[in-house]
Amino acid sequence: MLTTGLVTATTEGDPVVAIVGSVPRLLNTKHTHQSMKALEILTPTSKSATNIDVEDQAAEVILAAFRSANGNPKGSAVVSIPMDVAAGKSKITAFPETAYKPPLFGPAPQNDVSTVAKMIDNAKLPVFFLGQRASSNIVVSAVREFLRKHKIAVVETFQAAGAVPEDLADQVFFGRVGLFRNQTGDRLLAKSDLIICLGYDPTEYDASSWNPDSKLRIIHVDYQPCDYGAYYHPEVELLGSVRENVLALSNAVQHVTDPAQDEFCKGLTREMRSWQQTLQSKDGGKGLVNPLQFIANLQKRVSKDTTVTVDVGTVYIYMMRHFYAYEPRKLLCSNGQQTLGVGMPWAIAASLTQDPPCSQKVVSLSGDGGFMFSSQELSTAVLQGCNITHFIWNDEAYNMVEFQEELKYNRSSGIKLGGVDFVKYAESFGGKGFRINDSSEIEKVMDEALAHKGLSLVDVRIDYSHAKELAGNLIKDSVG
């Protein structure tokens, strides 16, 4: 679990410091009880992994770990402390709080900023393509300042959700992209003559997926140089603070094509909203719960400030495509490592970090398969008094694996689940269990579960009969 957690944090850009214990130094070369090469195992998962060899190293090693984890790009850092070192004393005291603050970055050279600004001025359809390192509050505030001065089309990766405010969404937002190249945002990227990538990380959505013919013009704006390659080769790189570079561009740009006045963009907007109109035209019939019907009902019941965490599986494809988020880091998923089981633990973390802790409702979602990867954390949520409602989209299968197996091999194998009464399971931990067997029960049960103070879990009998469509209608020049 630790290894998976650390590599997830590093890939998804979350700062984590893990302190692990080891046997006394005298025994570290022997085959003895609980002896293992922990640092050799954890080093590939982390930005840094260091052993404290002597007591007087402790302050410096701990400081270096926090600075590494919290420096851009953020990630995990590991410190290993032998048992005898942990029991000892150091002559070197801890460093002041200021030492733990990561260094600040400035903007790129003015000549480069001016060059990019002119490219944006001259482009017929420029697009801001926001990645996970553009999802922080300080970067999002700069992006919003730019958007209020210059209406530029915006596409988000799954992990950049919430950058575009609600009052501008209908004018500039063209959805999120990831996994399969078949979204309105993918079509916009394919049509664009200049893509400005802000905080983009290829682990979220490989460039070979959205630039398969390698012809798109790209600008790279990030804290670090790009991973230059056959499908990602920026004409200019603005390195340094993403926030400062966005603000510099905002001041330097003179003209941007307004997507609200572009016929192609108007068509994409209508297309992106069409699923909502389709739902509204149907009556509230019976049967298994339609994923889009569930999302529409949940959207109406949570505020833009509610944290929603989504586990990996078919559930996260639906949610990251169709659930609207208007504040940064409020809709969370793992789209780098695609780590099963993150939904509930992330919800617990979101609840505990509230001020005061556990004071506002947090919503988490998973499939029935992904849930069982960390279902024991129900105990943690109850013991800590977390106010969480967790929805399980239950089809008694690993559906995301199932539909991709069927697409590739015309059959599925090894994906069937079942035999768990999730209502009783939740109640055995001290939570409150609910079940939605039929689409006619969505509103009533959802209201009851969200109103419950503490941990509630809802077993949703989901209809995945259209799940294959999530990977269908790929843009024709997609790779793979």
Q: What are the tens digits of pLDDT across the range 371-392? A: 999 999 999 999 999 999 999 9
pLDDT at residue 384 in the model: 98
Position 65 scores a pLDDT of 97
Q: What angle do CA 441, 445, 450 make, to 5 degrees?
A: 150
What is the pLDDT confidence band of residue 33, given thresholds at 50, 70 and 90?
Answer: confident
> CB–CB of 479/412 below 8 Å?
no
* C-alpha pair distances (Å), 446 with each of 300, 427, 443, 451, 460: 11, 17, 5, 8, 10
pLDDT of residue 213: 94
pLDDT in tens, 8-29: 999 999 999 999 999 988 888 8
Q: What is the pLDDT of residues 413-466, one digit of tens each?
A: 999 998 899 999 999 999 999 999 999 999 999 999 999 999 999 999 999 999
Per-residue confidence (pLDDT) for residue 480, from 0 to 100: 39
The predicted structure's pLDDT at residue 222: 98
Return the structure tokens found at 174. 């063209």
- pLDDT over 70 at 283, yes or no: no
Alpha helices per DSSP H over 236-340: 242-252, 263-281, 291-301, 314-322
How many Cα atoms within 13 Å fall on the side-chain side of residue 133?
29
Q: What pLDDT was estimated at residue 35?
A: 82
Distance CA 156, CA 201 (A): 12
How far apart CA 346 and CA 332 sit, in angstroms, is 8
Does residue 282 surpass a pLDDT of 60?
Answer: no
Give the start-end residues of each E strand in 259-412.
308-310, 331-332, 362-367, 388-394
Q: Which of residues 338 and 114 earns the better pLDDT score? A: 114
pLDDT for 57 beyond 70: yes
Per residue in 81-126, pLDDT (tens digit) is 999 999 999 999 999 999 999 889 999 999 999 999 999 999 999 9
Query: What is the arithmetic mean of pLDDT over 50-74?
Result: 96
pLDDT at 332 (0 to 100)? 97
Instruction: Return the bridge partners of 433, or none.
Output: 457
Read off the amino acid at residue 412. Answer: S
What strand order describes the sheet that includes 331-332? 331-332, 308-310, 362-367, 388-394, 455-461, 432-436
pLDDT over 70 at 472, yes or no: yes
Give the percent of the chain with pLDDT over 90.
Answer: 86
pLDDT of residue 478: 46
Q: What is the mean pLDDT of residues 287-300?
A: 95
Mean pLDDT for 122-138 is 97
Predicted confidence at residue 356, as pLDDT, reads 96
Q: Given strand 173-177, what is the order of strands in its sheet?
A: 173-177, 153-157, 126-130, 194-198, 218-222, 236-239
Mean pLDDT over 163-181 rounds to: 95
Lowest mean pLDDT among 31-40, 212-221, 273-282, 288-297: 273-282
Query: Do residues 38 and 80 lie in contact, with contact meaning Cβ atoms separated by under 8 Å?
Result: yes
Strand order in the sheet with 48-51: 16-22, 76-82, 48-51
Q: Which residues pair with 177 in a beta bridge?
A: 157
Q: Which of 94-103, 274-283, 405-414 has the lowest mean pLDDT?
A: 274-283
The pLDDT value given to residue 273: 82
pLDDT at 479: 43
With 60 as the cut, is the pLDDT of residue 131 above it?
yes
Mean pLDDT (the chain, rounded): 94
Structure tokens at 473: 């209608």
Q: What is the DSSP string of 129-164?
A: EE-GGG-SHHHHHHHHHHHHHS--EEEEEGGGTT-S
**Mean pLDDT, residues 242-250:** 98
Strand partners of residue 176:
156
Average pLDDT of span 315-335: 96
Which domains occur in the chain, in start order? 2-100 (3.40.50.970), 110-265 (3.40.50.1220), 282-471 (3.40.50.970)
Give the Å distances, CA to CA, from 361 to 146, 310, 328, 354, 451: 32, 15, 17, 10, 9
